[in-house]
Amino acid sequence: MRYVDSHCHITFDRLYGRIDEILDNCQHSNVSELLIICCQREEFDRAKQLQLQYPFIRIAYGFYPCDTYDLQEQDYQDLEKLCQSGDLDAIGEIGLDYHYDDTDKEIQKAALIRQIDLANTYQLPISIHMRDATYDCMQILKQYAKTPFIMHCFSGSVETAWEAVRMGGYISFAGPLTFKNARSLPEVAKTIPADRILTETDCPYLTPVPHRGKENEPMYVSFTFQKLCELREADPEMLSEQIIQNYHRFLNVSK
């Protein structure tokens, strides 16, 4: 049995101090695929060094929506240079987050569109963060996105999940699927096509049951996967291989 963590922040300061332990845990827990999400340039530089040693690591870099307010033109130029270099496997996490009172929706939307345009130009998939912004985010994806996208740590309705699937998107499940207050997530997990499912941790956040309260890390993705199998009444080996295929298709890699 092999597992995929399609969204982890292991080069974030909070986890990077014990990176050797975390990656050792991955290998002992059969986590065979990692997509490291980098929201700062230092995080990307760390991930690039790790990738030299661990070939199962892939890298995404992009501007988290709540970090877009102070971006300068040079920041976008630097991101484009990374796209040109071939050092990125995806752009993300990018998106819209209207959760906070001081949200500037127009700046967030402009940043999202600009980064989607870069993804289109350089044929890179994207990882989408969407919180309290479903309508605007889905409209922008519908209008602008031309490459595959993941709805990271999906928390929306069945209807929104199917809308994303019809647009060619993937639905990624994280620890909240295991929570008692998972709301519509179990129904989403039961109903969407198997070839559109991905798993993630979003570590160090959202640790799944039965480890809630501990710091999250990629090895815990197995608990979200187990919940998926339970909800879908799926054969674990078959679903594991399907998710790996989905992940490779999303990234457009052969293995």
Place of tokens 């999940």: 161
Tens digits of per-residue pLDDT, 117-132?
Answer: 999 999 999 999 999 9
Q: How far apart are CA 239 and CA 135, in angstroms?
A: 31
245 is written with which tokens? 């295929």
Nearest Cα to Cα of residue 228 among 194, 253, 203, 201: 194
Domain encompassing residue 164: 3-251
Gap between the Cα atoms of 11 and 50, Å rounded = 9
Instruction: With CA atoms as reference, report the closest residue to 141 among 186, 92, 174.
Output: 92
Burial of 86 (0-12, 13-18, 19+ CB in 10 A): exposed
pTM value is 0.96
Q: What is the pLDDT of residue 186?
A: 97
- Amino acid residing at 248: H
Question: In which band, very low, low, confident or very high, does the pLDDT at 255 lie, cut at 50, 70 and 90?
Answer: low
Count, residues in the chain: 255
Q: pLDDT tens across 175-231, in order?
A: 999 999 988 999 999 999 999 999 999 999 999 999 999 999 999 999 999 999 999
Of 175, 182, 186, whose CA–CA distance to 215 is shortest?
Answer: 175
CATH code of the domain in which 79 resides: 3.20.20.140
Give me the amino acid identity at 33.
E
Domains: count for the chain: 1
> Average pLDDT in the 147-151 region?
98
155: which 2 tokens? 């928390």
Give tens-digit pLDDT for 164-188.
999 999 999 999 999 999 889 999 9
Q: Are 151 and 134 in contact (CB under 8 A)?
A: no
Query: What pLDDT does 26 receive?
Result: 97
